[in-house]
Structure 1
């Protein structure tokens, strides 16, 4: 695999591998892929930090990457956007990645392999990353935090329709009770509590009809976010909650609090 630093400054590969990259097959699971945005200030010895943005059910990965480009340029970091496609082993499966484990694929480990490739190719700093996701991406993000708290510096969770509580009396994905059997690891609430979390939702994002159509007749998106907030806070996680007035179920509409949250974290 070519490292960007190994290419001469005038080589056309430098243009291909900086700013907006093409999509790369994920190592170990080529049915998944990822793209990055590398800021114009990148240099081979920079060791820039990484922000991972996880898509929702609609997989609008191009729009997602574009939305974080100004932030990447301002704060000199690399944006990584994985793509977990619909239909792996089940042509109608749109949700498997949200639970991290489906059809024999550990989507959390796919992301870790992606980050290792990003580290090698761009000399990026991936020991801990900023992680965010909206809707289905928010489901992925907080569950990834539970299983890999040591790999996450700060997490922003936007309007998840389903949540996992820090509750060992409930089986995954409702709770964390069977994670040793399912994932080979136990969720440590104390380790999770060392990671600051932003919970964000649009003020007009009720979502009750959407959730009812998917079989959850008991909750709205704000209620789900409140359940997650209460569970995290009860175990000591520093939680910031933001409701954006006049915004519906929109990743772009709730992005300003996310970038503001990460900017404050980076400044500290």
Structure 2
């Protein structure tokens, strides 16, 4: 990952005031088509302890600002940095809005783009990056559970919110429906590593009323798992929970009462689940 030229700002730099609280968005030095923003708690010090890192991956509408604003108190109260990548729509194909969800698109590896952003951020802030926390909702939930298949050793915990499309642990279908070609496609040996995945705390979170199927039914070629699981997100998450349990990955399922397909309304339940894990990482 090429992150040459990234350095910490000097202590007397006038730009330091922008490096705590909600930061500007920074271009990725790995690929400047992509960028990321952070919330850095006021307790951060350039010579202090490394802070746990929570990565939030946006959904199809790319509403990163809502997450950075809503997680301010979580960041301050639990001494945790928040990072939100931005994968813009229309990269290569001007009409495409989905490509980041599958981890790869033509010559782009979105998992590597994210890892490079994390490494880049660690050159400027004191962050724990050997293992980080990950949450995504909707399109971000698709990203999060597929990233988990590829890089379980990098995750301290993962919270997967209401993905419309799911990747089965089956070896019978190609990516992103299944895993039969995962090693060849990503050039990563020893994946899927169910032992490593089984050691990571996992939350599934979905709204109780997230049962509308019109958008999901528009997909012309649902996977075998999606046909078997059913047409709504609650059913598909329950199916994936059981499929992962069969290969040794234990998960928790949070169904949020009276909520539909709304990531921000589910977010308090994600925070509650993450709190003890993040606090333990802060020690």
Q: TM-score range by the shorter chain?
A: over 0.9
| Residues 56-79 of structure 1: per-residue CA shift (max 9 Å, x gap) | 000001112112111111100110
SS at match of 2:55: strand
The answer to whether the aligner puts 1:244 opposite 2:243 as a matched pair is: no
CA contact (8 A) 2:52 2:81 kept: yes
Which of 50, 53, 61 is the aligned partner of 1:50?
Answer: 53
| Residues 26-48 of structure 1: per-residue CA shift (max 9 Å, x gap) | 12211111001100111112211
The answer to whether the aligner puts 1:171 opposite 2:174 as a matched pair is: yes
**Distance in 2 (alpha carbons) for counterparts of 1:2 and 1:184:** 30
**Distance in 2 (alpha carbons) for counterparts of 1:66 and 1:180:** 38
CA contact (8 A) 2:80 2:278 kept: no
Which of 13, 33, 36 is the aligned partner of 1:34?
Answer: 36
Report what 1:146 is aligned to: 149
Question: Aligned runs of 1:1-268 on 2, under 5 Å?
Answer: 1-4=6-9, 6-8=10-12, 11-44=13-46, 45-185=48-188, 186-215=191-220, 216=222, 218=227, 219-268=231-280
Measured after TM superposition, the shift of residue 167 of structure 1 is 1.5
| Residues 84-132 of structure 1: per-residue CA shift (max 9 Å, x gap) | 0101110111111000001210000000000101111102111100000
| Residues 199-236 of structure 1: per-residue CA shift (max 9 Å, x gap) | 01001111311101233494211121112111221122
Structure 2 residues not aligned, in runs of 5+:
1-5
TM-score normalised by the chain length of structure 1: 0.95
| Residues 227-267 of structure 1: per-residue CA shift (max 9 Å, x gap) | 21112211222200011111010011111111111112234
**Distance in 2 (alpha carbons) for counterparts of 1:3 and 1:199:** 37
CA contact (8 A) 1:88 1:103 kept: no
CA contact (8 A) 1:51 1:78 kept: yes
**Distance in 1 (alpha carbons) for counterparts of 2:18 and 2:277:** 30
User: How many residue pairs align between the two structures?
Assistant: 265
**Distance in 2 (alpha carbons) for counterparts of 1:119 and 1:52:** 13
